[in-house]
Amino acid sequence: MPDLEAILLARIDRAWAVGWQPRELVRHVRRTTSALATQLVALATRADHAVRVDQAIDARWVEQVAELGARTMSTRDGWLSRWSEHYSRDDLTVGRAVGAVLELLTRLPVLDVLIPPPGSPPASRVRGLPVDSPGDDPVLRRVRKLLAKAESTSDEHEADSLTAKAHELMTKHAIDQALVDGPEPSDLPCTVRVPIDAPYVDAKSLLLQVIAEGQRCRAIFHPRLDLSSVIGHAGDLRAVELVFTSLLVQAQHALAARAGAAGGHTRTRSYRAAFYVSFARRIGERLAAVTATVLAEVDDGEHLPVLQAREVAVVAAFDERYGESLTSTAIRGGHDALGHAHGRQAADAAVRVRCDHDVGAPCGPPRTYPQIANPYYRKGSERRRLLACLGTRSHPGPRPPGRSAPSRAR
């Protein structure tokens, strides 16, 4: 099957050229096709990697290929035949799997290149985090430890204080970095992609969006791929990934803990969807309150304008990339009153503010979700809003009324 091997490797190479990464590609195949096709793509990815020994390969790329599992099969010429024989697959079964994979690879959408693909020149410009981005920052280490404790404890009061402390540390760290950089940030906004795993991807993407906004970033959900792209400065993006992972775990624990209390009702999709939606909305309010508290403590007229200048740069990059392609659509489910109440309670338990400052919100579940393009995100509108705040000591105005629905790419 040498011809099929060559065709598969050519399609894999094209996937790298249009922005896909090994981890994302295997996940996408797993979501949309069969386990057999997933095995085949993982093997083809390793075979592609094996023939690039003389090429420059980013260390993050090597790490992702290593995640695909141990090399239990040689990737030398003839790997497709050996794979077929190893799993006792007949030619017809192999042909169907290859056909499904080739069709999927042919129809892959173009993504932003976040990591230089194999063989790219060292100076290739990508939108992802820089290679020398400080992933082992001391503050992030402290935040990671706090969030890990919050996930593992069964005491809700301890969990909420740990999460609030982590967000407080990240906000203060962002202020310190902003003051070092001055009015002109030293780093350009970059992008990360975050997988949003089923079920309830709409509500989970909304959670990521409100966390990103709380860290002065912007997020957009790609519904066909169950991925979200987040744009921001490198340190803020790492904070977003940490907090999202932690709060998602805490939400899942809280949902499981309430399963016994509410009986069989908690097994309905409507209840669970409402729980996640309410949790996400309330988390946005609580994180905003923590940020307001930190800013109030350091309010000397110097910190807020510098932070806003960094956010202006993020909004400009977001508008340039997605400005005219944004829509807000309805979140499926999420109208169960009990699920909404429990989700709000869980969010209050996840992040508790250290002072009386809080953001009010209606107690009932949201009744409607806008399905039209969100005018708040039209090109230039948010940039003008933020620029108008520069040089003042007031906090930017309230969030737009349509934020209950996650921003999506068309």
Residue 268 burial (C-beta neighbours within 10 Å; 0-12, 13-18, 19+)? middle
**pLDDT reading at 372 higher than 60:** no
Angle between helices 2-17 and 91-106 (to 10 degrees): 20
Compute the average pLDDT of residues 4-16: 94
In this structure, what token pair is assigned to residue 185? 């940030």
DSSP 8-state symbol, 189: -
Whole-number pLDDT of residue 70: 57
pLDDT band at 180 (very low <50, low <70, confident <90, very high): low
The C-alpha R_g of the chain, in whole angstroms, comes to 23
pLDDT in tens, 294-339: 877 776 556 677 778 888 899 999 999 987 777 777 676 667 888 8
C-alpha distances in angstroms, 251 versus 64, 205, 243? Answer: 28, 13, 12
Residue 336 burial (C-beta neighbours within 10 Å; 0-12, 13-18, 19+)? buried
> How far apart, in whole angstroms, are the C-alpha atoms of residue 366 and residue 281?
10
In this structure, what token pair is assigned to residue 14? 């094209």
Whole-number pLDDT of residue 400: 39
Best CA proximity match to 333, nearest among 207, 202, 227, 197 = 202
Compute the average pLDDT of residues 178-205: 82
Compute the average pLDDT of residues 193-208: 93
pLDDT band at 4 (very low <50, low <70, confident <90, very high): confident
Of residues 170 and 399, more confidently modeled:
170
Spacing of C-alpha 147 from chain mean position: 17
Please provide the size of the chain in residues: 410
> How far apart, in whole angstroms, are the C-alpha atoms of residue 144 and residue 132?
19
Of residues 207 and 163, more confidently modeled:
207
Best CA proximity match to 34, nearest among 85, 107, 101 = 101
Best CA proximity match to 21, nearest among 72, 68, 82 = 68
Residue 249 burial (C-beta neighbours within 10 Å; 0-12, 13-18, 19+)? middle
Whole-number pLDDT of residue 163: 78
Categorise residue 57: left if φ over 0, alpha if ψ from -120 to 50, beta otherwise.
Answer: beta
**pLDDT reading at 166 higher than 70:** yes
pLDDT in tens, 212-269: 998 899 999 999 999 999 999 988 998 899 899 989 888 888 888 876 665 666 668 8
Whole-number pLDDT of residue 217: 94
Are 219 and 208 contacting, i.e. CB atoms less than 8 angstroms apart? yes
- By three-state DSSP, how is residue 230 classified? strand
CA terminus-to-terminus distance, the chain: 39
pLDDT band at 389 (very low <50, low <70, confident <90, very high): very low
